[in-house]
A and B are shown apart, each in its own frame.
Chain A
Amino acid sequence: MISSVLTELAWQFSLLSFLAIGGVNALIPEIHRRVVEMEHWMTDADFAQAFAIAQAAPGPNMLIVSVIGWKVSGLLGALVATAAICVPSSALTFAVAHIWDRFREAPLRAAIQHGLAPVTVGLVLASGYILARTVDQTWGALAITVATVAVTLATRLHPLLLLAAGAALGIAGFV
């Protein structure tokens, strides 16, 4: 049943929408857990490809969700998954934006921001780890990942150049 797959996509990604503190990059381990390990919608290799395609497109890094929706259920799946990851958190943002400024000086607001910071960093680092395990299946791929980390930390090169370098090395058969 197509509709039940769409319902499942909508349900899974709306839940994730509320859990996406620190943006969608921090969500990657959970998306992988649900989509690959629990629902078996795609393989590890499919997931790595979806990630690559999303990174190669301009725009917000949540596009991996659109690609997963597309893989699972075509254009409609992409629309449903994208709306599901955006709409719940957007509705919350819309509601909170009105009252947020009133709590500018509230100590709890500072405590929440200060307290969530290390958790968010842990989530992004976990994303990097899960991706490396999924994506770096060869020594060549691992070398590209390590080199990209080093260059990003040491220089101010535009990320697009590093993605292009990765693509060129891949085409040359390095991966």
Chain B
Amino acid sequence: MPVIMSAMNTPPVTAHKLVDAPTKRGLFLGFLMVGLQGFGGVLPFARRMLVEQHRWLSEREFNEVLSLSQFLPGPNIVNVSIIIGNRFRGPLGSIAATLGLMLMPFVIVLVLAALYARFADLAPVRGATNGVSAAATGLIIATGLKMAHPLKGIPWHIVMCALTFIAIALLRLPLLWVLAVLAPVSIAIARWMMQR
């Protein structure tokens, strides 16, 4: 059983017995359902599918996969599907999981876009779209505020967060340059604070 073997290379973390490794088809279908369920964030649904429903991962394994996915660039949930697919079925497993994840949302969003283009002249359609984007903007601001909560009480975190906000939102500087300066500085401060 390749799952258990690969799990043995890292410290054993499984609290409960994990089921057999999923097939490529299983990966595709599992992530297909995740893609269809997730509104306003797919990660909670991915966690439920992987940990609770299929038991492909333990809770701790999921958290480790998630922290790696968030650390690397790119859409977090896509990174999760890449890592999980690869862990069980190699590169083809990654492709099966990611295609499963993306297929239906991609089709649905294009159908919505085509419908919108066709009916954009109708006032209720425009109204609904404006209302959804206003609410969705609120969701993103709320996400940002929730993420900001743990920064409270760490002054240099607040300063780095504020500098990033000012550079991107107010000064409209290119992201590449902002990250090239602020990310190394922030990591250096973190390293220095940890060594003290």
**Cβ–Cβ < 8 Å partners of B104 in chain A:** 58-59
Interface centre among A23, A121, A170 (most CB of B within 10 A): A121
- The reply to whether B137 and A128 contact each other, CB–CB distance below 8 Å, is yes
Residue of A nearest to B129 (CB): A52
Known: A61-B40, A118-B158. 18 other contacts (CB 8 A): A18-B74, A29-B172, A30-B175, A53-B109, A58-B108, A59-B102, A60-B75, A60-B77, A63-B109, A75-B110, A86-B98, A89-B79, A93-B72, A96-B68, A125-B169, A168-B128, A170-B128, A171-B127
Measuring CB to CB, which residues of chain B are less than 8 angstroms from any residue of chain A?
A: 9-10, 35-42, 64, 67-79, 82-83, 86-87, 91, 94, 98, 101-102, 104-106, 108-110, 112-113, 116, 120, 123-124, 126-148, 150-151, 154, 156-165, 168-169, 172, 174-176, 179, 182-183, 186-191, 194
> Taking the nearest CB of chain A, how far is it from the CB of B139, in angstroms?
5
Interface centre among A30, A59, A71 (most CB of B within 10 A): A59
Cα–Cα, bound, A66→B182 (Å): 29
Given A18-B73, A116-B186, check contact A90 B98 (CB 8 Å). yes
Cα–Cα, bound, A104→B194 (Å): 16
> Taking the nearest CB of chain A, how far is it from the CB of B48, in angstroms?
14
**Can you pick out 9 interface pairs between chain A and chain B where the beta carbons lie within 8 Å of each other?**
A19-B175, A89-B74, A118-B158, A118-B160, A125-B144, A128-B140, A132-B141, A144-B135, A170-B128
A contact patch SS:
helix
**Cβ–Cβ < 8 Å partners of B36 in chain A:** 58-59
